[in-house]
Amino acid sequence: MNAENRGARTDVDKALLGHATYRSLGEQQLSPAEERFEKGRRTIGLFLAPLLAIIFLALPLGIPPQQQTLAGILIGVIVLWITEALPIPIGGLLGVAVVVFMGVAPADEVLAAFGSSTIFTFIGAFILAQAMLKHGVARRFAFRILTLPRVGESTTGVIIAFGAITCLLSAFVSNTATVAMLLPTALGILGVIAKVMQHRGVVEEDFDPLRLRVGAAIMLMLAYAASVGGLLTPVGSPPNLIGRGLIEEATGERISFGQWMVMAVPICLLMFISLSFILLRLNRPEIKRIEGVSEYLAREREEMGSLSRAEKNTLVAFGVTVTLWILPGVVAVVAGNDSDIYATVSDRLDEGMVAVFGAALLYLLPTDWESREFTLRWKDAADIDWGTIVLFGSGIIFGALLADTGLAETIGQSVADSLGMTSVVPITIFAVLLAIVVSETTSNTASAAVVVPIVIPVAVAAGINPFVPALAATFAASFGFMLPVSTPQNAVVYGSGAVRITTMIRSGLTFDVIGAILIIVFLPLMIAVVGLGG
């Protein structure tokens, strides 16, 4: 790809990727009715959050003052997260500050979570993803798949290929980034399909190509496959790392990179099969065979040219990082989880440190040694989603405080007694449904930060290991498919104009139900397979 085209693609990516954790009203493409709803939701949150917190603090509950203060603050923060009255990371930080001001815990103890290894996993993974986007590695991979024989000859082939590409890329690149990167190509392909339909007389001369069912199918596949693919690895989506960190804090069990993938692959595969079948049934393409798409894709791929030095360097850094992430799992399979060599390797190859090492390679591998130009410049790090990192730290802080103050036990006992849940199955179902409902009203990142700290004490109070329901809630946090506000990738494809809100709700509700069933049925089985949660 020439420099001018590459720059244009980068501008598109930046425009679509901005504020992945939180987007202001002015940064979204909303209808007047949706804008009124969003404005009302956020305005209500500004007043409701402090009001509910103050009311709760004044109630005569008969619990220790430290627990009641923390609970009141947490209620206010959850309202801010759900209504998005403030940027989601800022809502978390505000709550952390108030926790210290109100004497719940000293600042040093509260802020210790920001030294978590998972914070560095976030940072390293985001920098690696930034390099893949900046230098076009991810887009090149997408075109390589799309130009495979027979893929571009039918609408079904194109839609399924787009879904497969999105799933695989979302396992390592942020879901929103993947969708933003592929969106211009999807729109280009839709334009080619529209011309074919017009040429065949399938549609009128003055038709709107954005109203085609095939366009809705392509766009929804992009958004939904990104959510599904994000589950494949711990670094695929922020809720994964948030939930995993909270689970480790509560249970002491660490889920390795390899163990996570073993648990996630069956669920993701079955979900992708469901996506491919049902989306094509609900949004049946107007034509099956298409001409011209293969040629369009071939031209786009040819413009990219051969691999640049920066792309090669990015592939090296990415390959080294993923290899080191997976290596402890390989050692466990060969030598056993109880072996000394596994203990040494897993301790030395901490995921956070591996991520930082891989990211550092991007600043060490040169693209032009004479001018001392390297694969990334430091300013590129400014473009990563620092808001998610801040939000993760806030979530871990509140999770730790819930346990330390005893509030977790109090909440868990109250919920368990009122709902009568005493076994792992009903608590897991409760966790999955709650996570999906919350994810539909706010970002999936905030959903994990809100729901997992609630589920863990409920399970503990019922006398069961919280590992299964907490991990189920973590998975389900990514399964908000119904509304544009549910995930950033939903918002991106809805903003394209190719998806009606009613179409998204109808398709999304179907996948909410299917996703919940798959998690409830298969996740406990896969947890047992990898030997966790015992």
Query: Is 337 exposed, middle or buried, given 0-12, 13-18 or 19+ CB atoms closer than 10 A?
Result: middle
**Is 60 exceeded by the pLDDT of residue 316?**
yes
Dihedral sign for Cα 474, 479, 480, 486, please.
Answer: positive
Distance between CA atoms of residues 92 and 442, nearest Å = 14
H/E stretch holding 420 reads none
| Exposure of 132 in the CB half-sphere (CA atoms within 13 A) | 27
Q: Which of 136-140, 432-436, 512-516, 526-530 has the lowest mean pLDDT?
A: 136-140
Contact between 221 and 162 under an 8 Å Cβ cutoff? The reply is yes
- The position carrying tokens 């905030």 is 446
**What count of other Cβ atoms lies within 10 Å of the Cβ of residue 343?**
15
- Residue 49: band (very low, low, confident or very high) from pLDDT cuts 50, 70, 90: very high
**The pLDDT of residue 351:** 77
- Tokens (6 digits) for 105: 């815990």
**Is 60 exceeded by the pLDDT of residue 28?**
no
HEC secondary structure over 86-114: CCHHHHHHHHHHHHHHCCCCCHHHHHHHH
Please write the tens of the pLDDT for every residue from 410-440.
777 777 777 777 788 999 999 999 899 888 8
**Residues 473-502, mean pLDDT to the nearest whole number:** 82
- The position carrying tokens 């550092």 is 360
- The larger pLDDT score, comparing residue 310 to residue 408, is at 310
Contact between 20 and 385 under an 8 Å Cβ cutoff? The reply is yes
**The pLDDT of residue 17:** 37
**The pLDDT of residue 152:** 63
**Is 90 exceeded by the pLDDT of residue 52?**
yes
Phi-psi region at 2: left, alpha or beta (left = phi > 0; alpha = psi -120 to 50):
beta
Distance between CA atoms of residues 144 and 441, nearest Å = 36
Q: Which of 12-21, 292-301, 349-358 has the lowest mean pLDDT?
A: 12-21
**What count of other Cβ atoms lies within 10 Å of the Cβ of residue 309?**
15
- Residue 11: band (very low, low, confident or very high) from pLDDT cuts 50, 70, 90: very low
Distance between CA atoms of residues 427 and 19, nearest Å = 34
- Tokens (6 digits) for 308: 């640049």
Write the single-letter amino acid at 142.
Answer: A
Distance between CA atoms of residues 196 and 193, nearest Å = 5
- The larger pLDDT score, comparing residue 295 to residue 90, is at 90
Contact between 467 and 424 under an 8 Å Cβ cutoff? The reply is no
HEC secondary structure over 115-166: HCHHHHHHHHHHHHHHHHHHCCHHHHHHHHHHCCCCHHHEHHHHHHHHHHHH
**Is 80 exceeded by the pLDDT of residue 495?**
no
- Tokens (6 digits) for 370: 């004479």
Distance between CA atoms of residues 437 and 520, nearest Å = 15
**The pLDDT of residue 9:** 39
Alpha carbon 240 to chain centroid distance? 7
Q: Give percent of the chain above pLDDT 70.
A: 87
**Residues 390-398, mean pLDDT to the nearest whole number:** 74
Distances (CA, A) of 79 to 51, 53, 151: 10, 10, 46
**What count of other Cβ atoms lies within 10 Å of the Cβ of residue 305?**
12
**Is 90 exceeded by the pLDDT of residue 512?**
yes
Domain ranges of the chain: 38-104, 115-135+308-385
Query: Is 461 exposed, middle or buried, given 0-12, 13-18 or 19+ CB atoms closer than 10 A?
Result: buried
**Residues 352-378, mean pLDDT to the nearest whole number:** 86
**The pLDDT of residue 228:** 93
Please write the tens of the pLDDT for every residue from 472-485.
999 999 888 887 76
Distances (CA, A) of 94 to 73, 78, 239, 241: 10, 12, 20, 22
- The position carrying tokens 């334009």 is 191
**Is 50 exceeded by the pLDDT of residue 397?**
yes
- The larger pLDDT score, comparing residue 195 to residue 267, is at 267
Please write the tens of the pLDDT for every residue from 111-161.
876 777 767 877 887 788 788 778 878 777 777 776 777 766 778 888 888
